[in-house]
Structure 1
Amino acid sequence: MSDNTLLAGPALRRLRKREGMTQSAMAATLGISPSYLNLIERNQRPLSARVLIQVIDRFDFDPRTLREDESIGGIDGLARRLADERFADLNIDREEVSELLNSAPQAAAALARLYDRSGQDVGGVNDSLVESRREIERWRNHFADIDEVAEKLADELRLSNSDLGAALTERLREKHQLSVRILPLEVMPNAVRRLDLHARQLQLSEMLDRSSRNFQIAAQLVTLEQREAISSLVAGPQFDDAAARQLFERHVTAYFAAALLMPYGRFLRACEQTGYDFTVLQRRFGVSFEQLAHRLTTLQRVGQRGLPFFMARIDRAGQFSKRFSGASGATLLESDVSCPLWIVHTAFERRGDLCVQSVFVEGVDAGPTHWITIARTVDAIGAGDQARFVIVLGVEARFAAQLSAAKGLSLDPESAEAIGLGCARCYREGCRQRSLPPSGAPLQVDRLARGVTPFEFQGLDRR
């Protein structure tokens, strides 16, 4: 059955009960047989386009509510939550996740909501971050209306790499009577951008490189010119607190700025023509590697899709400060920390180099397992050498032929580096890099012999 097939039985059944109708009465209203309606309600038949139109016309029905699973990220979103170590002994597979979503979507949404509010969705971090990230995930980090508006604005400004900063600066001056001023570090020690309306200045830190300056100017420009569009998008979700809403608004604003610097159609064509050559793309669009990585996760326009990348930012301790799955279906970002065998840790010792690795993710019950990952160090904005992270991009190995960075890399899954989801969620035996025993696995201590790994444990049946 196609992924696009609309199985909406529970929603249709709730609509019928809300209207106080029997199956026979609703079937007559929709022009179908009661037995066919019964099959639709039991998700044994999809909801056809003809019947959907009848439902909308006869019952003034919002069709968006028929895909309730989208609010929790669909099968991938629920599978990610159920892959938590707390459920490891239940061996929940992807088929069971699909069955739950199809048969009881509201129960699945309730389960996801309880999980998210437990504060454990991304390693027990702040609830506001969890809530904001959940909304980004619901959109799969793709905002089609923003891309369309940004493309038109970019065409209007006639942006190009050679005069990018000048075009943005001139727009601020002409339309908003704002000048751009670069201030020394001692004047802006704790800020990279500040809008001084009294002086009619957009003030930027001297610590920003050219790509970061352009991005900050673009972000200020869209804040001024696209306030209504941004506010309308942010007003949609029902956030529990103001901080989550503000974080989501900041993400949408940054998305808008990136879409202005890398207009969708032109950017996608450049990606395809160059084989996603990151170095060429950075120079052509005047962006940093981190800005480029963000944009690569958003290429999901209907009829114009790019490769489904995921992206993350990781510190030296293996902690995630950013992670965007996009349309990749990646679950390897959902642990508290990253596996020390992953190339992201080696990248810290190879500053500025593109480090490429084929990885096979073990212990994943949902989503793809064989990936091509590309990692590179970046310095924190305005911090120079004081703070450094690694940005990692990943795409399924089956797309490697379209990726210039994967040329010459073996795509045999058997030769891929086996990694886990961090030691506490990894059940691989014999790993000499292990720092912690896996959660829930009984430890075995042999008084007569010492193994080659620090922890011996009884293997769990992960089938």
Structure 2
Amino acid sequence: MTQAALADSLGISASYLNLIERNQRPLSARLMLLLADRFDFDPRQLVTDEPGGGLDGISRRLADPIFEDLSIDRSELDDWLAMAPNTVEAFVRVFDNQSANHNGVSQETLDPTQLVRKEIERWRNHFADLDAMAESLADELRLGTADLYGAITDRLRVKHQLTVRILPETVMPELLRRLDLHARQLQLSEMLDPASRTFQAAVLLAEIEARSEIKALISGADFQDNAAKNLYHRHLSGYFAAALIMPYARFLKACEQTGYQLSILQRRFGASFEQVAHRLTTLQRIGARGLPFFMIRIDRSGLVSKRFAGASNAALAESLNRCPLWHIHQAFERPLEIQSQLVALEDGSSWFTMSRAVQGVGAGKGGFTAEFVIGLGVSAELASALFDAQGVDLSLENADQIGLGCPACTRPQCAQRSAPPKSRALQFDGREMGVVPYSFITD
């Protein structure tokens, strides 16, 4: 940025900014907060007397899945910071340097989905340029009609000479969407519900009208793996489509007016539960942020097929395993109900979570339809704004104590434990047998 542009964004004169840059005026706390807000960084990173941003900065780095099998409590971190600040700073520099290269794992050893997820999280799943472009296009499309699907299909037909055709399932077995450039058609399966049809049409519009913006983001990711490029392209096209269906300012306003009531957001924007859940993880526009939600999607085996930590820094989204005491697993048995739960982790953080079962579209080989559960969560400190948290005591002592899966959890005497913690030595007493099959050293 030029000095004039930066000064204008901060509401100060260019001459005053020049004096700050020449170290002839102090950088005030007010300006520091303005800088943090405008350019989305944690001002604690600039504190020189606390290596790595202090306790919070170190905790954030240690939340990386690579350290999942270690149980490091806050008192241990306090001792490390106090007794060996230089080694803390050395760790931070190495970790951050490696994180710049996909969290210290070379592209050759990461699969494409991991590469893409790390790039998405680097952006906190908020792509401001795509959001702004989609919002502008949404305003243009809605000027003459309330039917967004009709407006998108008209634009594809008039501006890009592409028609949308709905075909029987028997004509498109095992396919939901096909682009036939010879016939100039976007062919959609009749199995898609209205929200999914709108989304798929919006994805094609994204691939055409946001092509240069998407291409620039893919280029900036510097993937060497073609599969990662294609997966990232698919995510960014879907991001634009969701931003077109749920334009940022209108969607955030609706969230705040309704207390993030998911059923109303679905109806108001003609979106599916999963589409709304995705969108909630993206609301990080500078100066107009929504609540920092995380989202995961699991199947009945507990395998995660989608995860977005966004700006939440939630270990629940990053963990490779899940605790059976988390109600996300119960949602399969109550398909249309939202299972809400206040949970507390071993690190002292507490989260208000909402989980609901969803179904895939159509039947694959074997004739069954896929089932998933979407899990959403936000820090309990912020959850009082939620419709689903009304009447809930959000204090820490009221939370259900859960872990990040048995191998990472060190809570003693948990009757649900199915595996010992990796970071603790097992104890055996031939004279006794407790309710819990594994006894271990807790200190």
**Short-chain TM bin:** 0.7 to 0.9
Aligned position for 2:11:
none
The equivalent of 2:187 in structure 1 is 203
CA distance in 1, matches of 2:375, 2:425: 34
**Shift of residue 78, structure 1, vs aligned partner:** 2.3
- Give secondary structure in 2 for the equivalent of 1:236: helix
Shift of the 77–255 alpha-carbon distance from structure 1 to 2, 3 Å rule, reads farther
The runs of 5 or more residues in structure 1 that have no matched partner are 1-29, 53-63
Give the Cα separation in 1 of the matches to 2:65 and 2:204.
Answer: 40
Find the counterpart in structure 2 of residue 348 from structure 1: 332
2:95 matched residue in structure 1? 108
1:419 to 402, 408, 422: 402
Listed as ranges, the matches of 1:274-285 within 5 Å are: 274-285=258-269
Pick aligned residue for 1:81 from 51, 56, 64: 64
Q: Do the aligned residues in 2 keep the contact of 1:372 with 1:400 (CA within 8 Å)?
A: yes
- 1:7-86 matches, within 5 Å, as 31-32=22-23, 78-81=61-64, 84-86=67-69
1:318·1:339 contact (CA, 8 Å) conserved in 2? no
* Corresponding position: 1:378 with 2:358: yes
Contact 1:307 1:395 in 2 (8 A): yes
Paired AA for residue 416 in structure 1: A
Counterpart residue identity of residue 321, structure 1: S
| CA displacement at 1:430 relative to structure 2 | 0.9
State percent identity of aligned pairs.
Answer: 50
Q: Per the alignment, in what secondary structure is the counterpart of residue 63 of structure 2?
A: helix
Q: Assess if the C-alpha contact under 8 Å between 1:160 and 1:285 holds in 2.
A: no
Q: CA deviation at 1:261?
A: 0.3
How far apart in 2 are the matches of 1:413 and 1:77? 20
Give how far 1:433 is off.
0.9
Aligned length: 399
Question: How far 1:399 sits from its partner (Å)?
Answer: 1.5
Equivalent residue, structure 2, for 1:436: 419
The CA deviation string for residues 327-383 of structure 1, in whole angstroms up to 9 with x for no partner, is 112112222221110010011111011111000112x3xxx7111100000112334
**For residues 276 and 292 of structure 1, what CA distance do their matches in structure 2 show?**
10
The equivalent of 2:383 in structure 1 is: 400
Counterpart Cα distance in 1 of 2:86 and 2:251: 38
1:333 correspondence with 2:317: yes
1:175 aligns with 2:148: no
Q: Secondary structure at the match of 2:112?
A: helix
Following TM superposition, by how much is the alpha carbon of 1:386 offset from its aligned partner in structure 2, in angstroms?
A: 1.8
Cα root mean square deviation, aligned: 3.5
Q: Tell me what 1:6 maps to.
A: none
* Paired residues of 1:78 and 1:112 also in contact (CA < 8 A): no
What is the deviation of 1:77?
5.6
**Hey, what's the Cα distance between the residues in 1 that align with 2:303 and 2:62?**
22
Secondary structure of the residue aligned to 1:452 is coil
For residue 6 of structure 2, what is the aligned residue in structure 1? none
C-alpha distance 82-243 of structure 1, shift in aligned 2 (>3 A): closer
Q: Distance in 1 between matches of 2:195 and 2:145?
A: 10
Q: Distance in 2 between matches of 1:279 and 1:145?
A: 28
Q: Give the alignment partner of residue 246 of structure 1, picking from 202, 212, 230.
A: 230
The AA in structure 1 aligned to 2:224 is D
- TM (norm. structure 2) is 0.81
- Report if aligned partners of 1:101, 1:108 keep a CA contact under 8 Å in 2: no
1:126: how far off?
5.1
TM superposition shift of 1:445: 2.5
- Consecutive unaligned residues of structure 2, counting only runs of 5 or more, are 1-20, 36-40, 47-51
Assess, with a 3 A threshold, how the Cα gap between structure 1 residues 277 and 90 changes in structure 2: closer, same or farther: closer
Mean alpha-carbon deviation: is it higher for 425-434 or for 75-84?
75-84
1:176 deviation in Å? 1.5
* 1:45-78, Cα deviation, whole Å (9 max, x unpaired): 99x98xx9xxxxxxxxxxx9x98999xxx76762
Partner of 1:457: 440
Correspondence for 2:217 among 207, 211, 233: 233
Q: Normalising by the residue count of structure 1, what TM-score does the alignment of the two structures yield?
A: 0.77
- Please say if 1:154 is aligned against 2:138: yes
- Rounded to whole Å, the distance in 2 between the matches of 1:345 and 1:99 is 43
Aligned-pair distance for 1:226? Answer: 1.3
Letter in 1 for 2:422: S
Cα offset for 1:238?
1.9
The CA distance in 2 between the partners of 1:205 and 1:152, in whole Å, is 29
Q: Which moved more, 1:314-323 or 1:352-361?
A: 314-323
Q: Does 1:387 align with 2:370?
A: yes
Mapped to 2, the partners of 1:332 and 1:272 lie a distance apart of: 24
CA contact (8 A) 1:371 1:396 kept: yes
Partner of 1:360: 344
In structure 2, distance between residues paired with 1:334 and 1:312:
9
CA distance in 1, matches of 2:310, 2:434: 41
Deviates more, 1:449-458 or 1:216-225: 449-458
Residues 1:161 and 1:378: Cα distance change in structure 2 (over 3 Å): farther
